[in-house]
Amino acid sequence: MRFAAVVTWAALMLSLFALTSYCEELKVFATHYYPDTPFPEFRGLWHEGFALAKGQDYPPHQDAPGAYVFIHFLNSSTAPLTISDIAIEGIKLSEGLGRTNDACGELYGHSIAVSKIPDSAKQKLRNAGEPVWWKAEPRTVAPKGLGQIVIRLKRQPKVENIKLEILTQPSKGIGSVQVFTTKSDPRFAGVYFTPELNTIYAYLKHPKGAVRPNRIYLDGKDVTASAKVGFDPKVDIVPIVIKLAKPLDLMSYHCLRAGFPDGTAATTGVRAWGHEFVYGIWGSGGDPYSAYKDWAAHNFNVHMGHGDKPTMELSLDAKGFEFLRSLGFRNMATWYGNARNPIFYFLLDEPDAQDYGIDDLPPNERLGLLGQALVERADELRRLDPKTPILLNVDGTYKPENWPMYHQLADIPCIDPYYQGELDMVYTKRPGRYAAFTKPTYVYAVTVISQSACQPKPLHVILCSTRYRDEKTQGDYTGRYPTPEEKRLEVYYAIGAGAKGISYWWFTAAGDCYGMGSGEPAAKALYKEVGLLGAELRTAGPVLTLSQPVRLEIKAPRLVSARCLALGTDTIVVAVTNDNVLCDRLGTVYKPIEKTNISLQTPTWINVADAFEITADGTRNVNWKRDGHSIELDLGTLELTRLIILTSDSNLRGALQFLYEKKFAANVQALKTELVEK
């Protein structure tokens, strides 16, 4: 990108969107304020384990409690520029976010409540939304380069505008900007990259509904002419496909901006990362060579962690590394040097649960304490290895505020909505809430909330594959393994809500969480099912990893749900689930639904030429009819799930079938043969 292009673009953006004052070095060209989206329809699902265990009161959950502030800027100088601090209403966050006395391991909490600033200054910060953490991405911006600042606010501000100042090293002044909290901005709901990093799939949402952008910029360059834009005034997203002249560098930082005719704009900073669908397993399975071979035969491709030392460190051995490569397997590492060629770094497990353990503040005020320490930890990982994405898993403590609190901190937001743990809690502590947990709606709800909070990042979902037995909290009650039917529904709920990867906690047959590697009949049945699901998901992976949830006009039989995803401008995915299901402590009961006919209106940007289904046996035909943009699907009898692809790409079915036959067909045949023999 030439300097002249950057300067011209920055000047254009500043004039068009009339932002703020700025220092000589740092020029702000966009600010966005995005409040959390409320989901009152899921309110009945939330209860707190810590409140029950310790007899503590947790106040009623608030809808849309917090917000994110994004600031996008240009380093217009001829030298690198490091963002050193942020001041809100004249108060530096390095001083306003005081450090706690208690810690989580080596990580200390940070909060306004424990800072040494005057009470009047604390009140200013609380009025401005009570910031809990902030980060700069990248921390040091190259000359003529672009960057963004992200600030997490715990509460929505009490003021209509917030004065922010950006401190830099070296600095000739302070960049100042005002963020208005009453305006509604469009945003990028999703930005994803092909594994080759030569194509970008982006999806826009506008507060006024579907609005077609009139300008698309990538790193300051106008790419409108080379961007394929899909627009339908009746559809809630606008897909954009940008074919690049040359591939991007892995994990390189980029700025996407879309301007609209009404003068608004959407801006986002993203790092270029793409991969096949991640289908992961946690834990250990005995001899690592045998375990990895068995996992690969069950269609897993990533070991996520929490295993024993031989399993976790197999890639550090030259022979082990080549063995994993031969299986197409990679590892997630806990730190730099802990695995060779890791696919992710695991920043921390469950910071919301760890927040609860820092006792400087009352329990109901602890959420978000670890945010600033995790930013610093992520910066250090980025310095040590700038080519590997960072994943942060958020648990279920302080629901539902916890997920928005942390989902913008790392490259890959992650959740672990363990439905079976919630079901066990119903039976052991809250039987009156059973009506809300008769099926795995909990997984869908957490994924929907997280998809809203993490946009435009790719969301990873961890599902439960253990039975629980904890005498301290459950008494004589022993939980059961998830049923194959539950896990199939959970997977479809997750991908229908936008999940870009799935993994399972865990395989290890030990501890209070007794994994599916135990060899018990229920565990073996579950293990086979997740193996079959892996073939389905990884066959559909090239579609799922680049798609975005979309609301379409759709009609389905009562007790059937059909959730849609859009892949660019040429494909629609329909994830169908049977909702005539009942789960309890004994297992799962469901009734197949006959004559499952579904009709939907596809967006005007697509003319469907082919419709097919993806199953554990590969692709297969589906009965369908088309009348213009109206599609009729005759699915016959619906057992539990169906994954339907509608596309204008005549090559897609063949490509996915080729992928299936090359990587998964033999595994599926072996799994089904074993099932028949057993």
- Tens of pLDDT, residue by residue over 491-517, are 999 999 999 999 999 999 988 889 999
Asked if residues 649 and 546 have their Cβ atoms less than 8 Å apart, the reply is no
- CA–CA separation, 364 vs 628, rounded Å? 54
- CA–CA separation, 631 vs 602, rounded Å? 7
CA 350 from centroid of its chain's CA atoms: 14
Look up the pTM and report it. Answer: 0.95
* 641 three-class SS: strand
Asked if residues 506 and 303 have their Cβ atoms less than 8 Å apart, the reply is no
Asked whether residue 595 carries a pLDDT value surpassing 80, the answer given is yes
Of all residues in the chain, the percent with pLDDT exceeding 70 is 92
Across the chain, mean pLDDT equals: 92
Q: Taking residues 520-534, what's their average pLDDT?
A: 97
pLDDT value of residue 17: 39
Confidence of residue 458 (pLDDT cuts 50, 70, 90): very high
Q: Taking residues 262-287, what's their average pLDDT?
A: 96
Asked if residues 491 and 419 have their Cβ atoms less than 8 Å apart, the reply is no
Give the single-character DSSP code of 48: -
Which residues pair with residue 87 across a beta bridge?
A: 92, 165
pLDDT value of residue 169: 87
What phi and psi, each to the nearest 5 degrees, are found at residue 390? -115, 130
Of all residues in the chain, the percent with pLDDT exceeding 90 is 85
Residue tagged 């704009």 (tokens)? 265
Give the single-character DSSP code of 68: E
Burial label, 662 (beta-carbon count in 10 A; 0-12, 13-18, 19+) = exposed
Q: Report CA dihedral (597, 601, 602, 604) to the nearest 10 degrees.
A: 160
- CA–CA separation, 554 vs 534, rounded Å? 28
Tell me the per-residue pLDDT of 612-640, one tens digit each, with 9 for 90 and over: 999 999 999 999 999 999 999 999 999 99
Residue 238 tokens read as 């606008």
Asked whether residue 472 carries a pLDDT value surpassing 80, the answer given is no
Residue 198 tokens read as 């030569």
What letter represents residue 381's amino acid? L
Burial label, 207 (beta-carbon count in 10 A; 0-12, 13-18, 19+) = exposed
Number of Cβ within 10 Å of residue 272's Cβ equals 18
Q: Report CA dihedral (607, 610, 615, 618) to the nearest 10 degrees.
A: -130
pLDDT value of residue 261: 94
Q: Helix crossing, 665-677 with 652-663: angle to 10°?
A: 60
Confidence of residue 140 (pLDDT cuts 50, 70, 90): very high
- Sorted by sequence, the CB contacts under 8 Å of residue 8 that are 6+ apart come out as none
- CA–CA separation, 327 vs 317, rounded Å? 15
Give the single-character DSSP code of 10: H
Asked if residues 462 and 393 have their Cβ atoms less than 8 Å apart, the reply is yes
- Continuous segment of H or E residues that includes residue 598: strand 597-601
Asked whether residue 677 carries a pLDDT value surpassing 80, the answer given is no
pLDDT value of residue 428: 87
Asked whether residue 474 carries a pLDDT value surpassing 60, the answer given is no
Confidence of residue 19 (pLDDT cuts 50, 70, 90): very low
Whether the bond into 170 is cis, omega within 30 of 0:
yes
pLDDT value of residue 12: 45
Pairing outcome for strands 501-505 and 278-282: parallel
Asked if residues 223 and 488 have their Cβ atoms less than 8 Å apart, the reply is no
Residue 520 tokens read as 């018990």
Residue tagged 């509604």 (tokens)? 184
CA atoms within 13 A on the CB side of 165: 12
Give helix then strand counts, H and E, for the chain: 17, 41
pLDDT value of residue 429: 84
Residue 59 tokens read as 């106040």
- Give the domains, in start order, of the chain with CATH numbers: 22-183+353-388 (no CATH), 184-274 (2.60.40.10)
Residue 586 tokens read as 């004994």
Asked whether residue 49 carries a pLDDT value surpassing 80, the answer given is no
- CA–CA separation, 38 vs 58, rounded Å? 19
- CA–CA separation, 610 vs 111, rounded Å? 55
- CA–CA separation, 216 vs 186, rounded Å? 13
- CA–CA separation, 415 vs 350, rounded Å? 9
DSSP string computed for 361-376: S-GGG-TTTTHHHHHH
What letter represents residue 569's amino acid? T
Asked whether residue 674 carries a pLDDT value surpassing 90, the answer given is no
- CA–CA separation, 609 vs 647, rounded Å? 6
